[in-house]
Amino acid sequence: MSILCRLIWHHTYRYLTVLLLMLTCTLAQAHESSTAYLNLALEDADSTTDIIYDATYELSLRDLALLIDIDANSDNQVSWVEVTSQTPLIEQLITSKVTLAHAAQACQVARFAPLAVNTRGGFNYLYTRFSLSCDQPIDSLDYQILAGIDANHRLILTQANTDTPLQVLTVGQNPLGTEADSGWMAITTNFLKSGIHHLLIGLDHLLFLFVLLIPAVYIRKQKQLVAVSNPKAALIEVFWIATSFTLAHSITLSLAALQIVSIPARFIESVIALSIAFAALNNLVPMLRVRAVYLAFFFGLIHGFGFANVLVDLPLDTSARVLALLSFNIGIELGQLVFIAVVFPIALLLRHTQFYKWGVFYIGSLIGILVALWWFFERAF
C-alpha cells in the first residue's frame, strides 16, 4: 500500500509541475488592462444623402505595438517618425478592426486626418480622426482590436449630440445603445458588469488575492504551519481579509476616479506587481509579523488606483461619474466574492494534505513571486 501511495504522489507532483509551468507561462504573458477611446459625432444627417459621422479613435502606443511594428530599429524607444511611417498600416488596421454598421450594412471610412499623439494616464496614445459614411444611423460595432491578444482590453464609446449614454465595450460584436437605453439604469448596469469583468480577468488582482487567501487555513506554531482545526476561524480570517481589501481599494478608487488624487498609471501598475511579490514572499519567509488582513488593507490602497484606470478619463459629469464609480466598485466586490467562493472551499478541504502544503502554498507562493517580479520589470522598464 505504501508503494502505491508513493507512486500516486510521484505522478501527482509530476502533473502538478506541468500544470504550474503552464500557469506560469499564462500569467507571465499577461498584459495589464488597457483602454481605447472612440467618440462619434453626427456631422451630416441629411435624409437625402448618406449620414456622415466624425469619429476620433485613441489607442495607446503600447497596445499599438502589439499589432504593428512601430519600433523599426528595435531600440525599445518609439519615435514619432517610426509611428507615422506606419500610417498606411494603422489606417488599414482601424478600417478592418473597427466596423460600425446598421443592420449589418457596414459604414465606409471616407477619409483620415493626419495622425497625432495624446497623453492619458501617463501613457502615450495614438490619436486618429476620420469620417464615416453610413446609409442609416449606426446600431452596432464589431470591435476586433487586440482580439485574441489582450482579454483585458476595453473600448470607451461616447456619442456626441445624442442621449445615448457612454458605453464600456469589449472585443467582439457590440450592439450600440439607443435612447431607450439611456439614463442612470444604463450606467449602473454597464459599470456593474464592467467591474465584475475587470476583477475576474485582472490576473494581477486575482494573484494578489490568491497569495493572501492560501495561508488563511494555517496558523504558525514554532515556525511550523499547522492546519486550523476549526474551519470557522479560517472563515473569519478570510472575511476580514476581503473586508480590509475592499475598504482600502474603495478609498483610493474613489479618490482617483473623482480626480482628487492622480498618480501615473505606469507607476501604479509596477507597484501592484511588487505588492504581489512581497505578499507571496511573506508567505514563505514571514518578514512582517502581522496578519494578512493588514497586508490586504495596505496594498489594497495601491490596487484601488489600478482599478481606477478604467474610470479616470471618462467624459462624465460629477453625478454620472459617482454613479459609475459606485456601480463599478460593487461589481468588483461581486467578482471578488466569486473568486473567494471558488478558492476558499478548496483550500479548506485540502488544508491537511501535503499536496496543499507543498503544491499550493509553497510552490504557489514561489510562482507568485516569480510572476510578479516579471510583471514589475515588464511594466517599469
Which tens digit of pLDDT belongs to each residue from 81-111?
999 999 999 999 999 999 999 887 899 998 8
Residue-by-residue DSSP string for 200-260: HT-HHHHHHHHHHHGGGGEEEETTEEEE-S-HHHHHHHHHHHHHHHHHHHHHHHHHHHTTS
pLDDT for the residue 180: 43
In 10 A of CB 158, how many CB atoms? Answer: 18
Strands (E) across the chain are located at 35-44, 51-60, 98-102, 105-106, 108-112, 116-120, 123-134, 140-143, 154-160, 167-169, 172-175, 218-221, 224-227
- The closest alpha carbon to 292, from 371, 347, 335, belongs to 347
Helix or strand (DSSP H, E) at 269: helix 265-284
Distance CA 218, CA 17 (A): 23
Domain boundaries, the chain: 6-31+194-380, 35-145+151-182
The predicted model gives 225-247 an average pLDDT of 91
Which tens digit of pLDDT belongs to each residue from 317-330?
778 888 888 999 99
pTM: 0.77
pLDDT for the residue 163: 60
232-to-162, 229, 235, 294, 348 alpha-carbon distances in Å? 54, 9, 5, 20, 10
Range scoring the smallest mean pLDDT among 165-169, 189-193, 360-364: 165-169
Contact 193, 357 (CB under 8 A): no
Mean pLDDT of the chain: 84
Range scoring the smallest mean pLDDT among 69-78, 98-107, 333-342, 366-375: 69-78
Distance CA 86, CA 61 (A): 12
Strands (E) across 103-165 are located at 105-106, 108-112, 116-120, 123-134, 140-143, 154-160
| Cα 265-70-117 angle, rounded to 5 deg | 55
- The answer for residues whose C-beta is within 8 angstroms of residue 126's C-beta and 6 or more apart is 58, 59, 60, 61, 64, 83, 90, 115, 116, 117, 118
Which tens digit of pLDDT belongs to each residue from 280-312?
999 999 887 677 888 899 999 999 998 887 777
Distance CA 15, CA 21 (A): 10
Which tens digit of pLDDT belongs to each residue from 19-50?
444 445 445 444 455 789 999 988 765 555 68
Asked if residue 17 has pLDDT above 90, the reply is no
pLDDT band at residue 124 under the 50/70/90 scheme: confident
pLDDT for the residue 293: 87
Query: What are the grid coordinates assigned to 359, written together?
Result: 503544491
Q: Which residue, chain included where needed, has cell 499550493? A: 360
Distance CA 200, CA 152 (A): 10
Helix or strand (DSSP H, E) at 187: helix 184-200
Distance CA 2, CA 225 (A): 25
pLDDT for the residue 48: 57
